[in-house]
Amino acid sequence: MRGSVMHFGITVGEDELEGIAKLYPEGIVVEDCTAYAAADFVKWLWGVVPDGSSVTFNTEWGLEADLPDALVPQVPRPRLVATFLAHLEATGGLD
């Protein structure tokens, strides 16, 4: 692994999340959160990423199923939650 890695904790709403940020490959991982907390985190993230940037997501189950990263749509929170839950259903992660 090249580059620096930062472990972080963040409170978004009432959720306390932990994750990892890397410079190469550039990205942020949020660990062990619900679809609702993930949606809140993404809404916050859009406020800090540069304009024109895209945000993608995947899960451990998605990676194991060789699913590609999916673009996070800029939609209201309920639709974000539905997007994340649909991904989990597609991977069998809700079984």
Q: How many domains does the chain have?
A: 1
- Whether omega for the bond prior to residue 25 falls within 30 degrees of 0, making it cis, is yes
**What would the pLDDT profile of 43-85 be if each residue is shown by its tens digit?**
999 998 888 888 999 998 888 888 899 999 999 999 999 999 9
**What would the pLDDT profile of 15-41 be if each residue is shown by its tens digit?**
999 999 998 878 899 999 999 999 999
Residue 94 has pLDDT above 80, yes or no: no
Instruction: Find all residues with CB under 8 Å of 63, minimum gap 6, and list them.
Output: none
* Domain limits for position 48: 5-91
Ramachandran assignment for 2, one of left (phi > 0), alpha (psi -120 to 50 degrees), beta (any other): beta
- Alpha-carbon torsion (78, 37, 44, 22), positive or negative: negative
Please answer whether residues 55 and 42 qualify as being in contact, where contact means their C-beta atoms are separated by less than 8 angstroms: yes
Residue 12 has pLDDT above 70, yes or no: yes
